[in-house]
Structure 1
Amino acid sequence: MRRRPVLARPVLARPVLAVASVLLAAAVAGCSHTPGSSSSSGDRASGGATAAGTARAGDAAAALAEGPGPQSHYSVAAQPAPGSCHYRSDNGQPLPDPTCTPGALSPAVTQADLGQTICRKGGYTGGIRPPASVTDSEKRKNAASYGYTGQLHDAEYDHLVSLELGGDPNDPRNLWVEPPSPGHAPGAGPNNPKDAVETRLHTAVCGGQVTLAQAQQAIASDWSTAESRLGLK
């Protein structure tokens, strides 16, 4: 009885599979997605930079959260746990804890409606500011969050992204007890240079020098360097 010849296995089978595996891995890598790289608030924050044509140094990588916006009635907002927040500083100027106070934006203010909101004649912030009956209680609790032991009279309960830059009025992520800056006279009350920075950024936004998103990101990242990072100083 004649035996049938044994056919040799194709020598290219394993190399072909290896090449296919490499191509598949490359395809998967090309479709990878970084968590947090896309969100509704991220689209909103980056839109102004696109409209301006080029991104500026003030554009931060992380998108700012969006708060509930102006309310007809404000309630005292819950604050971070006592001692859980820690101040930072830049050349001696106080900065908030980026985890406790990263900043939050009002959905009522966009690049498209500046003329009807923060840039309108007659002002905007007075009608949306929470009353002292709410903010006084929040200030005391937030001072405990940050471990602030100085005179509350000298500290400002401050919107990180100011109302005149479209910051949310009462989102706890946008409010912090801001200690006095260096050189402040004890007992003199709040007098922080951040207020003047907010005003100049507001002027730049309404004058078309920078976009709303750029100003918001810059002041949330580091208010003390916001103007220089945006090329305004």
Structure 2
Amino acid sequence: MSVGPQATYIVQKQPPAGSCHYRTEKGEPLEDPACTPGATLPAVTQANLASTICRKGGYTKNIRPESVTRKEKELNASSYGYKGSLGDAEYDHLISLQIGSDPNGARNLWVEPADPGHKPGGGINNKKDPVETKLHTAVCSGKVTLQAAQQAIVTDWATALSRLGIG
């Protein structure tokens, strides 16, 4: 866990170069759980969903620290040994902001390569984003608890929906 949204952000220390290793599930890239175990935001709880992640008008736009993203992405790419174009990879929150993650915790961010078959130079494209949105919708509609959604995505985002019975 972390302290959550800050007025200003600093570049977070990343794991040593080459120390993190991608896994795959059905060809999809997964994070190294030793380097990126996930980090939640204590300010987001089951009791305050309506005023945090489920509030109308957006939540994630106001807490994402864009000012440090590029430098952290470069450092994390080195941690994971990522050699592709950074334009084709997403500096992604393992537990998404949509389901109450730490906006700038090094334990929750990783350079996620594009999906297999993605054309280099085509920009970011991955199958994890729709999973994050479906988990958010399920949490906000009461189909699953915040904690269940967070645990499912940390365990394996590629199977999170099926594990929770979400279509």
The two structures share one fold, judged by TM-score above 0.5: yes
Does the 8 A contact of 1:86 with 1:97 survive in 2?
yes
If asked which structure has higher relative contact order (CA below 8 Å, sep 6+), I would say 2
Amino acid of the structure 2 residue aligned with 1:101: T
**2:113 is aligned with 1:141:** no
Q: CA deviation at 1:183?
A: 1.8
For residues 162-186 of structure 1, the C-alpha deviation after alignment (integer angstroms, 9 at most, x for no partner) is 0010010001000000001112111
Match of 1:191 among 125, 141, 145: 125
Does the 8 A contact of 1:68 with 1:171 survive in 2?
no
Match of 2:21 among 79, 82, 86: 86
State the Cα RMSD in Å. Answer: 0.6
Runs of 4+ in 1 over 6 A off after TM superposition: none
Q: What is the identity percentage for the equivalent residue pairs of Structure 1 and Structure 2?
A: 66
Match of 2:139 among 202, 205, 225: 205
Q: 1:226: which partner in 2?
A: 160
Within 5 Å, give how 1:5-154 maps onto structure 2: 66-131=1-66, 133-154=67-88
Q: Measure the CA separation in 2 of the matches of 1:116 and 1:185.
A: 40
Q: Secondary structure at the match of 1:222?
A: helix
Q: Measure the CA separation in 2 of the matches of 1:113 and 1:134.
A: 28
How many residues are paired up? Answer: 167
Give 5+ residue unaligned stretches, structure 1.
1-65
Q: Measure the CA separation in 1 of the matches of 2:124 and 2:2.
A: 26
Q: 1:50: which partner in 2?
A: none
Q: Secondary structure at the match of 1:75?
A: coil
Give 5+ residue unaligned stretches, structure 2.
none
For residues 181-229 of structure 1, the C-alpha deviation after alignment (integer angstroms, 9 at most, x for no partner) is 1121110111111000000110000000000000000001110000000
Q: TM-score, normalised by structure 2?
A: 0.98
